[in-house]
Amino acid sequence: MEDYKRNQIEEALSRVFGEDSKEPSPDLRSRVKRLLDADRALGRNPRSSDPEKSTFAFYSVEPPGKGAEVRFSSYEAFAILTALRLMRHAWPQSFPVSVLRRVRSKLEQEHARILRQDPEILFDEKAIRARARPGDLAVDNTDPVFLVVVSGQKGSSADVAGLMLFDICRGLESVYKFVGQHAAEAWSLFELVTPAHYLEHHLAKTEPKKRGRGA
């Protein structure tokens, strides 16, 4: 399985977010660094039964020491993208790290399945229009998958640190079922299929920089 250096991930993210500069913006690089540092600072205990304590959000193994080369999997690049999307909702920086740790097992499996799908079928505009139903949320692929964040429940005081719930749901019916089960008053959706393929497309166009040149 191919892995990537940080410069490649930053370059691909820059294209995904529509930056028109030749190099990733300092702001994007700073946000990626803060996420990686936050994940590293939390550490992990592989023996813990709590995925937030036993699993990194953006690393496969213990990060090497300062100055050592770090490689990231395709999934980990996608996890960073997803965390950046979550941060756009003005949640604290610790929140996306927590979410991506908790859902990693399921999301990593789903990411692998998504990338095995044929883009010609996934992004067939005729098929997308044919599947659309009145009242449904608009999607831009034929087999959408969502990260669902339930941020308010009837009769609860759910907040970022406490009672928020998350799940990976394939299809809108699965989303509605999850939201209904938890009597959600407020919830957010992040579609995952299109960003996963878009990021993979741009990652394939990047080249690793040699060490000593900002790699």
- Pairing assessment for the beta strands 184-191 and 145-153 based on DSSP bridges: antiparallel
Q: Residue 112 CB: number of other CB atoms within 10 A?
A: 13
CA 113 to chain centre: 15
Classify residue 55 by burial, with Cβ atoms within 10 Å: 0-12, 13-18, 19+.
Answer: buried
Strand, helix or coil for residue 83:
helix
Q: What is the pLDDT of residues 124-154, one digit of tens each?
A: 999 999 888 887 788 999 999 999 998 765 4
Q: What is the pLDDT of residues 189-213, one digit of tens each?
A: 999 999 999 999 999 999 998 765 4
The pLDDT of residue 155 is 44
Distance CA 56, CA 45 (A): 10
Q: What is the pLDDT of residues 64-120, one digit of tens each?
A: 666 667 899 999 999 999 999 999 988 888 899 999 999 999 999 999 999 999 999
DSSP conformation class of 63: P
The pLDDT of residue 163 is 53
Whether residue 178 is predicted with pLDDT greater than 50 in this model: the reply is yes
Going edge to edge, which strands form the sheet with 145-153? 165-170, 145-153, 184-191
